[in-house]
Amino acid sequence: MRAPTMTQHTIIGLSAAAFLAAAALSPVATAGESEGRSWTLDDILHAPEVSELTLSANGRFALYAAEIADSEAKRTRTQIRIVDIGAGTQHDLSSASIAKSFKRIPGTEDWSALLDIGEGQQLYRIGANGGIQPLVANPEPVAVGKADLSVSMGGGAMPHSVGILGYDWSPDGKWLWYSRLKAKAGPPHIRFDEEVSTLANRKRSSIEAEIEVFLRAPDGTVAKVITRPTRDRMAMYAGGRVIWQGDEILFRIESPDGTLGSVFETRAWNRKRQTMRTLSNERNARTLTMLRGPRNGILTTGGTGTMLELAEMRPDGQRHIYGRFGFTISDSNYALSNDGHRAVVGTRSIENPRYGLLLVERSGVREITGAASLTKCDFDDRITQAVCVEEGMATPPKLVHIDLASGKIDPLLPVSARYDEIAPLDTRPRRWTNRDGYKVSGYVMYPRGYRPGSRYPAIVITHGFDADERFADPENQWNYPAQLFAERGYVVMLINDPSPSQSADLRAAYNAWSRGSGPPDPKTMQRLIWLESVHALEDAVNELAAEGLIDPQRVGIAGYSRGAQVVNVAITHSRAFHAASSGDGGFLEPSGYAGWPAGYNPVYGGPPFGEHFEQYLRFAPSLNAEKICAPVLQQVAAAASMQAELFEALRAANVPTQLTYYPGASPASDETHIFHIPSNRLLAMRENIAWFDYWLLGKRDADAPFPERIAAWDRMAKEGRPRCDTAKPPP
């Protein structure tokens, strides 16, 4: 254990001494490796991400799933493992294409899970002895994801096939609620009007399917509850989220009505009478799940600022206030005890974005935080103990056991021992306040062998609010190899957008964006949601330059998706960045309007033709390409029109640029928004290193993945715009 990690152990809930004692017991801790080795690209590529974790009923075992890049299989695969908590040992059960929805089967020591182990995603029983048996199988699974003849699931889903979509057990384990995906038969139908407009954006063939929901009784008979279209996001993505209440099972359906908000209904299925009734009907429901508290109400945090009010809204309309805290809450680590008297919710602290737990009882609350973030927790039925993953920016993920009564956290096992061999990089959480008073959180990763007094080149990585205490997380650093940049002598700044919880105006702007209409007016929206982020990044760069840490003439900026929006706005509004990498983005460009009018309307006032064109002219990056000095690399999985539009505009404005498209595993499928094909991710990381080395440092990377492109960079550097003279001269 190295100092930077140890210094983080002063958080309430676990003393540094206790942690060190626990660490000494860890079976993989090896003496004398405190120096450790450097990061490699392979380390980043193979960083495991725990996606599921569940205790056994007796608390002696835990079942977990770790997603790890599999270069052989050309995709991410999931390792399923069983942990013997007492012995502190684990063994691999199986490897699956998909492994999700791990649950205990009530009344047994076994688990159930949705796995794809060759037959598409189906429901299996997993014994504590490691045996895997089918529980419910759909013999006709349906292809989903970004591939030909598949049901669309958005850009994030890698191509796979789904038989069983969701499930839940009754509290006694005797009834099984499940939903399955079924392809619609027959030839394609003739479409009219808006149903045609949506096709204008398709890139691949798709098929239609529907979702059938069933309830299996203790005697094995199966009743069909309802059939829903795949447009019902509740049925599609939350099929197992039901409430068992007497003879009724409560679930929610969404009736898309053409608005952004849709209409949500709560339905109740009576398992004895086999009848349905509608309990409530609400527009614009904001959450999929409600966090039930110990007073039978709903737990929420409210207010603005750095301390938020935690309250429970009771069914009688009364509001119980637990106090003010420096975190937000979510359902990611949520559980309620069997007797309903004790709840636990996940927290994310505002100052330093770290995940923890909050035990909520009628008598009060208790925060439990670890040496780093506590994620993927599971609890026993009485909420007395937990297993979690502990992970941080510089802390490789390990499993820990938590005694909730004492708050004691015991390390169990590392998820992958190889990361303990690496000498952690000095990574410090930091907050900045921009010139307009908006606060952002983030991290500064120091270059390996950092010497105070030297100035280093810097790379800013930005992606919404994902710069938090997680380990080498692709959702945050995408194909930007932060650790490798630090190994190669860059300061890496991982910086979040200003959190909307800090002020009413930011919250109003984000609400308008998700609602699809202002107020505020477009100009204010542009400022609050994009320009304040850019100001924060620019001010953070200036601050670190003023401290003497970074060289302000060699600063790059990188971000994907939401981050790409910020990158594209940053380079059109700021001269602080001298090279840019913009990943699979394009929102804000005019041609994107057709694909998401509700997202554009509040930002620009309307479509890009006619009266609103002035707003686009003012703010769309491609229409402001003349102002850009930084060379721009776009790495894309979608080949969307907006990306081509920005590329063409940069070309026309003589800005050095490259548009690189990473294809799917075959012509029948696409790479996903977060790359799932290891070879693509590796090449994209190497391409970013070569790009920034070339344009910021004037270096030709010997490991550049497409060396033949460097001639084009040389040409662009030579012919590039002379007025932008702040950039480093080419090598």
Q: Does 517 bind a second copy (CB under 8 A)?
A: no
* In the complex, least distance from residue 255 CB atom to a second copy, rounded to whole angstroms: 20
Q: Does 707 bind a second copy (CB under 8 A)?
A: no
* In the complex, least distance from residue 599 CB atom to a second copy, rounded to whole angstroms: 16
Distances, alpha carbon 43 to alpha carbons 216, 482, 709, in Å: 45, 12, 26
Q: Does 643 bind a second copy (CB under 8 A)?
A: yes
Query: x/- site string to a second copy, residues 408 to 427, per CB under 8 A?
Result: --------------------
Q: How far apart are CA 519 and CA 601, in angstroms?
A: 11
Q: Does 318 bind a second copy (CB under 8 A)?
A: no
Q: How far apart are CA 669 and CA 122, in angstroms?
A: 22
- Tokens at residue 214, please? 């069933």
Q: Does 71 bind a second copy (CB under 8 A)?
A: no
Please give the order of strands across the beta sheet that includes 75-84. 49-55, 61-70, 75-84, 89-96
Amino acid identity for residue 539 in this structure: D
Q: Count residues near a second copy (CB under 8 A).
A: 57
Among 191, 231, 618, 715, binds a second copy (CB under 8 A): 191
Nearer to a second copy, 198 or 332 (CB): 198
- H/E/C letters for each residue in 661-708? ECCCCCCCECCCCCCCCHHHHHHHHHHHHHHHHHHHHCCCCCCCCCHH
Stretch that binds a second copy, among 165-173, 325-333, 534-542, 617-625 (CB under 8 A): 617-625
Amino acid identity for residue 59 in this structure: G
Burial-class residue 237 by CB neighbours within 10 Å (0-12, 13-18, 19+): middle
- The DSSP string of 118-130 is SSSEEEEEE-TTS
Q: Does 725 bind a second copy (CB under 8 A)?
A: no
* In the complex, least distance from residue 305 CB atom to a second copy, rounded to whole angstroms: 41
Nearer to a second copy, 182 or 319 (CB): 182
Nearer to a second copy, 60 or 184 (CB): 184
Among 240, 297, 608, 621, binds a second copy (CB under 8 A): 608
Q: How far is CA 278 from the centre of its chain?
A: 33
* In the complex, least distance from residue 145 CB atom to a second copy, rounded to whole angstroms: 13
Pair 596, 620: CB distance under 8 Å: no
Q: Does 258 bind a second copy (CB under 8 A)?
A: no
Nearer to a second copy, 187 or 220 (CB): 187
> Which 336-375 positions form the footprint of a second copy (CB under 8 A)?
none
Pair 656, 670: CB distance under 8 Å: no
> Which 532-561 positions form the footprint of a second copy (CB under 8 A)?
none
Q: Does 204 bind a second copy (CB under 8 A)?
A: yes
Q: Is the CA virtual torsion 515, 519, 522, 524 positive or negative? A: negative
* In the complex, least distance from residue 150 CB atom to a second copy, rounded to whole angstroms: 10
Burial-class residue 105 by CB neighbours within 10 Å (0-12, 13-18, 19+): middle
Residues 6 or more apart whose CB falls under 8 angstroms from that of 721 comprise 629, 653, 654, 655
The two beta strands, 49-55 and 61-70, are antiparallel
Query: x/- site string to a second copy, residues 78 to 117, per CB under 8 A?
Result: ----------------------------------------
Nearer to a second copy, 539 or 670 (CB): 670
Pair 442, 646: CB distance under 8 Å: no
Helices (H), 222-342: 233-237
Among 36, 156, 171, 188, binds a second copy (CB under 8 A): 188
* In the complex, least distance from residue 257 CB atom to a second copy, rounded to whole angstroms: 17
* In the complex, least distance from residue 61 CB atom to a second copy, rounded to whole angstroms: 41
Q: Which helix (H) or strand (E) holds 615?
A: helix 613-619
Q: Does 641 bind a second copy (CB under 8 A)?
A: yes
Distances, alpha carbon 351 to alpha carbons 302, 325, 539, in Å: 16, 11, 18
Give the three-class secondary structure for 511.
helix
> Which 566-605 positions form the footprint of a second copy (CB under 8 A)?
590-591, 594
Stretch that binds a second copy, among 108-116, 228-236, 376-384, 644-652 (CB under 8 A): 644-652
Q: How far apart are CA 651 and CA 657, in angstroms?
A: 7
> Which 647-706 positions form the footprint of a second copy (CB under 8 A)?
647-648, 658-668, 680, 683, 706
Q: Does 286 bind a second copy (CB under 8 A)?
A: no
Q: Which residues bind a second copy (CB under 8 A)?
A: 148-149, 187-193, 195-197, 199-208, 590-591, 594, 608-610, 613, 616-617, 622-623, 636, 639-641, 643-645, 647-648, 658-668, 680, 683, 706, 709
